[in-house]
Amino acid sequence: MRDHLKSYRVGQEIMQATRNMMHEDRKHREALLEEGFAKNALDTIKTEMHERGTPTIGSTNLAMLAHKNQTMQDTLASMGAIETIMEAMVRYSAINTQGYGGVTVSEVWPLLPSTTQAMWCITRDNLNTQSRMVAAGAVPLFIGLIRSYAHDTRILGYACASLGTAVHANASVLAV
């Protein structure tokens, strides 16, 4: 993947394949990690941020790596995953109504459900990553998403779950 970072959408295609490999068997996930997949996935998201599908698929990959794995949560956070995911959320948070193949672009590439899920996976049961998420400004961002996307139960569920634990863990910082 690292050799293809400057090629148009190649990273996105590779991340689709790696996502399917990680779904297939845990040994594939471990082999990818040994080859530096976490860093490469994050680099690809940053490089192809202009292509809505890349942060969508990349966030799904990061969520799979981080789910119930505090070491990976900390690693991804230290590499800037929280800030990168938030950048994608801000960039693509506007409600979109333009048609693409009969549906909206956000239905083709469900970036906000993917990114809110990734944030939940990276911060779940981890005070360090929750604090980092709060410090990065996720609270007002998530509140805005909840207001704008109350109709989407995926966004609503992951954003509320992330906010609930982060606010509880950071109550003194947030003056809650």
pLDDT at 69: 93
What are the two backbone dihedrals, phi and then psi, of residue 96, each rounded to the nearest 5 degrees?
A: -115, 140
User: Does the pLDDT at position 122 exceed 80?
Assistant: yes
- Predicted local distance difference test score (pLDDT) of residue 35: 85
Q: Is the pLDDT of residue 5 over 60?
A: no
Q: Looking at residues 124-142, what average pLDDT do you find?
A: 93
Give domain status of residue 114, yes or no: yes
pLDDT digits (tens, 9 = 90+) for 56-90: 999 999 999 999 999 999 999 999 999 999 999 99
Residue 99 has pLDDT above 60, yes or no: no
Residue with tokens 């909840």: 146
Length of the chain: 176
In a domain, 125, yes or no: yes
List the domain range (segments joined by +) for residue 127: 2-92+105-174
166 falls within a domain: yes
Domain membership of residue 68 (yes or no) is yes
Q: In the chain, which ranges are continuous DSSP H helix? A: 10-24, 26-34, 37-47, 53-66, 70-78, 81-91, 105-108, 111-123, 127-135, 138-148, 153-169, 171-174
Establish if 99 belongs to a structural domain: no
pLDDT at 139: 92
For residue 98, being part of any structural domain is answered with no
Task: Provide the mean pLDDT of the chain.
Answer: 84
The predicted pLDDT at position 73 comes to: 97
SS3 103: strand
Q: How high is the pLDDT of residue 18?
A: 74
Task: Band the pLDDT of 142: cuts 50, 70, 90.
Answer: very high
Binning pLDDT at 50, 70 and 90, where does residue 100 land?
low
Instruction: Tell me the three state secondary structure of residue 125.
Output: coil
Count other C-beta atoms under 10 Å from residue 8's C-beta: 9
How many independent structural domains does the chain possess?
A: 1
Query: Is 100 contained in some domain?
Result: no
Cα 9 to Cα 5: distance, rounded to the nearest angstrom: 8
For residue 137, being part of any structural domain is answered with yes
What is the band of 14 on the pLDDT scale with cuts at 50, 70, 90? confident
Per-residue confidence (pLDDT) for residue 62, from 0 to 100 = 94
Global pTM? 0.84
Give the pLDDT score at 167. 77
